[in-house]
């Protein structure tokens, strides 16, 4: 099964190196695969910092998060919490 949810990037600078690294580190603690997709259809595995940076996601952009695996609900919730907190930057 797969769980999905769309969230808005809230931090002032969007997805740059520091938030990408925080997200990468967070998903390492889960067994599930986490994918992000921007509104242009570009996908990135959360297990790749480079892929996350390629999303080119500024503040205000909608990102779909998709988690698949044994702890997918927990992974999705953790990623949503991190993004909704503005990656603890603001």
Enzyme catalytic residues: 16
Tally of CA atoms within 13 A in the half-sphere of 74 that contains its CB: 10
Candidates 36, 75, 76; CA nearest to 57 is 36
Backbone angles phi, psi at 5, to 5 degrees: -160, 150
């Amino acid at each position: 099964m797969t769980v999905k949810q769309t969230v808005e990037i809230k931090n002032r600078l969007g997805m740059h190196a520091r938030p990408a690294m925080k997200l990468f580190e967070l998903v390492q603690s889960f067994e599930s695969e986490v994918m992000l997709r921007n509104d242009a259809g570009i996908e990135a595995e959360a297990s790749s910092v480079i892929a996350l940076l390629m999303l080119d996601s500024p503040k205000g952009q909608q990102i779909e998060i998709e988690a698949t695996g044994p702890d997918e609900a927990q992974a999705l919730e953790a990623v949503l919490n991190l993004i909704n907190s503005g990656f603890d930057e603001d």
